[in-house]
Amino acid sequence: MLLSVIGHYSLILGLCFSLIIIFLSIKNFKNSEYLNTKILFSSFFQLILVSLSFLCLVFSFVFSDFSNETVFNNSHSTKPLFYKISGTWGNHEGSLLLWLLVLTLFISLFLIKTKKQPVKYKILTLLFQQIIIIGFFVFLIQTSNPFNYLYPTPDEGLGLNPILQDPALAIHPPILYLGYVGSSIIFSSALAATCLNMISKKWATHIKKWVLISWVFLTLGIMLGSIWAYYELGWGGFWFWDPVENVSLMPWLALTTLLHCILVLEKKQVLTSWVIILSISTFTLSMCGTFLVRSGILNSVHTFANDPGRGLFILVFLFSLILISLFVFFFFHKSTQNELNNFSWLSKETSIIINNWFMMYFLSVVLIGTVYPIFLDVLSSQKVSVGPPFYHKLIVPFLIPFLLAMAIGPKLKWVKSNLEDKLSMILLLIISVLISFFILKIFEANFLINTILISSATYLFFITFRDFFIKKFNNISQNIAHFGFSLLILSILFNSLFSSEITTNLKVGETFDDSKTKIFFKSIKQKEEKNFKSIIANFNIENSMGITENLSPELRIYNQPNIVTSEADIKTTMISDKFIVINVVQNQDYFNVRYQVKPFMLWIWLSVLLISFGGLVSLFKKNYE
């Protein structure tokens, strides 16, 4: 109880400090020769108070303080310590408190790291950031208080959803939130710079670091969520266009586009409108994701279906932020004359603009596919599900010119250029087409769209791979990221084209046999852990080459809450994953068995790590490439 009291009043004091910071900032803005040290100390104390509040919630989970309603709803005394701690942010209230903690952390770091920036710019950025922070303070205290008290104190908690009790998901939300909340600093900074007419090359160099930090964390956060869904949910794939997957992808697409625009702005005083709009859009999409997940209107395995009133609060708050942003953009932004000049058709600027339009198209497809079912349900009470075919049909054809533009664009020079190494680039294109044709011919998957798509991805792969040897350390971060992206697309293509699946019902001792695979259900055993019982099945799987492997999927029966989950067994090699999952067939002795061979799964994760590593290299390079 004491921890809940301290945590609750720390939030109230933190809100009071927001009001103090706003008062001091307005006062300091009139006399802006230097930043008032009281503002720095107030921001620091606010961070301490929010950190104290978060630690109180963590310790409430660790000590199983069931007088706290959040702990009671999301924990149990038999849970391992690691999952007690991760349970802190594995719920609606705790995750929003984590949001608030990262918001206050980022603005404190921003004030420390921007000593050379104009004082008015820092004060305005702080003011915009505090508007966001106040919104989260009010939201937490009024509608989603993580320190609500229960009396009488229950003897035991309800437990955490078993599918959330996983190491990857334990670290996935904090990393993802660092990406989400990092975009708030970009948002506040862009509005402040617009008000002061500071959108310039110098500002681009300054804000690029924050864009890169947010982009790297968001990329890694999405990857961890994808890995978790792959082996924990038993879906057997890396991406299923689930609505909550989509709401994390949309800010990433906007942020990637913004990163490319910042690189152009750092060179020339152009694309300022793009930069401002994308800075606003990235944070808006992050907030939209919060609204869709927290409101309970999305039907997904990892949404928090809560009181719609909470979603309404976020919607009103988001609408207010958008109105403020549009007001700042239309009343303070002044387009420079250079922006109106036409680019040469053959220049790096033009290639980045083309990249922007493609990324915005992909973003629009994902946005429509995610929100269309919601609006249709509200307007006509019809429930529809937008699945992978919708996204594949609309995205795949446009992926081909996008990949070709990615291959050619970096070879161009700023302002105007002639394409260099024309002969070698044409030769690599011909080789790419031939390789893709023979691959598809050998595996009997010879469709025109597949040939062109694999050719485009292979071409980007060869071009970026060649640049490591020709240009050596020039544009190394760009080369690593683009090479990782080409590897990602190739891995996804081969994974989707050459995957195989067998679904059957088997009893212990039975065998499934077709021309390529033989599955023998060898045995079954039981095992008891601290907070669940496990039924482990043992399978011998023999392929057409006579190679036999043992796989042991399991069913887990959790005691609190009383839920049965399927745990896949996956044998991973550099070439493919062997994936098997079982489920009980009700009122029968049979088990439903699903066995999949998924080529190049490991390369999908490795390629995303390469993309992130490219961003890190750019972040730590002293000189602009």
- Tens of pLDDT, residue by residue over 402-443, are 988 888 877 777 666 565 566 677 777 788 778 877 777 776
Q: Of all residues in the chain, what percent carry a pLDDT higher than 90?
A: 38
Domain presence at residue 279? no
Question: In whole angstroms, what is the distance from residue 492 CA to residue 604 CA?
Answer: 7
Residue 302 pLDDT greater than 50, yes or no: no
Question: In whole angstroms, what is the distance from residue 19 CA to residue 23 CA?
Answer: 6
Residue 624 pLDDT greater than 60, yes or no: no
* DSSP letter assigned to residue 164: G
Backbone angles phi and psi of 307, in degrees to 5: -55, 125
Q: Specify whether the CB–CB gap between 555 and 474 falls below 8 A.
A: no
205-230 burial code (b ≥16 CB/10 A, e <16) = ebbbebbbbbbbbbbbbbbbbbbbbb
Residue 377 pLDDT greater than 80, yes or no: no
- The pLDDT of residue 415 is 62
For residues 510-527, give the mean pLDDT.
89
Q: Of all residues in the chain, what percent carry a pLDDT higher than 70?
A: 90
Query: Where among 146, 165, 184 does a domain terminate?
Result: 165
- The pLDDT of residue 361 is 95
Query: Where among 150, 165, 180 does a domain terminate?
Result: 165
Length of the chain as a residue count: 625
Q: Which residues pair with 485 in a beta bridge?
A: none
Determine how many CB atoms are found less than 10 A away from the CB of residue 171.
Answer: 15
Domain presence at residue 460? no
Assign 512 to helix, strand or coil: strand
Residue 300 pLDDT greater than 70, yes or no: no
Question: In whole angstroms, what is the distance from residue 194 CA to residue 272 CA?
Answer: 9
Who has greater pLDDT, 525 or 439? 525
Q: Specify whether the CB–CB gap between 270 and 305 falls below 8 A.
A: no
Who has greater pLDDT, 571 or 385? 571
- The pLDDT of residue 164 is 72
Tell me the pairing of strands 576-584 and 591-599.
antiparallel
Assign 4 to helix, strand or coil: helix
Domain presence at residue 357? no
Domain presence at residue 307? no
- The pLDDT of residue 295 is 57
Q: Specify whether the CB–CB gap between 93 and 70 falls below 8 A.
A: yes
- Tens of pLDDT, residue by residue over 238-290, are 888 888 888 889 999 999 999 999 988 888 888 889 999 999 999 999 888 77
Q: Which residues pair with 580 in a beta bridge?
A: 569, 595
- The pLDDT of residue 340 is 44
Residue 335 pLDDT greater than 90, yes or no: no
- The pLDDT of residue 15 is 95
pLDDT category of residue 23 using cuts at 50, 70 and 90: very high
Count of alpha carbons within 13 angstroms of residue 601, beta-carbon side: 20
For residues 218-233, give the mean pLDDT.
87
Residue 96 pLDDT greater than 80, yes or no: yes
Question: In whole angstroms, what is the distance from residue 142 CA to residue 606 CA?
Answer: 43
- Tens of pLDDT, residue by residue over 60-85, are 999 988 999 999 988 888 788 888 88
For residues 340-345, give the mean pLDDT.
58
Domain count, the chain: 2
The amino acid sitting at 371 is V
Residue 446 pLDDT greater than 60, yes or no: no
Cα dihedral sign for 471, 475, 478, 484? positive
- Tens of pLDDT, residue by residue over 426-437, are 777 788 778 877
Q: Which residues pair with 593 in a beta bridge?
A: 504, 582
Angle of helix 243-267 relative to helix 348-380, nearest 10 degrees, comes to 150
* Domain carrying residue 130: 1-165
Cβ within 8 Å of residue 190, ≥6 positions away: 199, 207, 275, 276, 279, 280
- The pLDDT of residue 103 is 94
Question: In whole angstroms, what is the distance from residue 93 CA to residue 88 CA?
Answer: 9
Who has greater pLDDT, 10 or 470? 10
* DSSP letter assigned to residue 413: P
Among the listed residues 270, 283, 403, the one whose alpha carbon sits nearest the alpha carbon of residue 349: 270
* DSSP letter assigned to residue 15: H
Domain presence at residue 33? yes
Domain presence at residue 486? no
- The pLDDT of residue 437 is 75
Cβ within 8 Å of residue 356, ≥6 positions away: 257, 260, 261, 274
Assign 448 to helix, strand or coil: helix
Query: Where among 148, 165, 182 does a domain terminate?
Result: 165
Q: Specify whether the CB–CB gap between 378 and 311 falls below 8 A.
A: no
Which of 369-383, 552-566, 599-613 tops mean pLDDT?
599-613
- Tens of pLDDT, residue by residue over 111-155, are 988 888 888 999 999 999 999 999 999 999 988 899 998 888 888
For residues 329-352, give the mean pLDDT.
70
Domain presence at residue 349? no
Question: In whole angstroms, what is the distance from residue 183 CA to residue 15 CA?
Answer: 22
In three state form, how does the secondary structure of 179-240 look?
HHHHHHHHHHHHHHHHHCCCCCHHHHHHHHHHHHHHHHHHHHHHHHHHHHHHHHCCCCCCCC
CA–chain centroid gap for 4, Å, is: 31
pTM: 0.89
- Tens of pLDDT, residue by residue over 460-486, are 898 888 888 776 667 788 889 999 999
Question: In whole angstroms, what is the distance from residue 257 CA to residue 391 CA?
Answer: 20
CA–chain centroid gap for 335, Å, is: 32
- Tens of pLDDT, residue by residue over 580-589, are 999 888 777 7
- The pLDDT of residue 287 is 84
Residue 505 pLDDT greater than 70, yes or no: yes
> What DSSP letter does each residue of 534-597 carry, written as one string?
EEEEEEEEEETT--EEEE--EEEEESSS--EEEE-EEEE-SSEEEEEEEEEPTTSS-EEEEEEE
Assign 140 to helix, strand or coil: helix
Residue 379 pLDDT greater than 90, yes or no: no
- Tens of pLDDT, residue by residue over 171-221, are 888 898 899 888 999 999 999 999 999 998 899 999 999 999 999 999 999
Cis peptide before 152 (omega within 30 of 0): yes
For residues 493-511, give the mean pLDDT.
89
Domain presence at residue 537? yes
**Tokens found for residue 38:** 């009281």
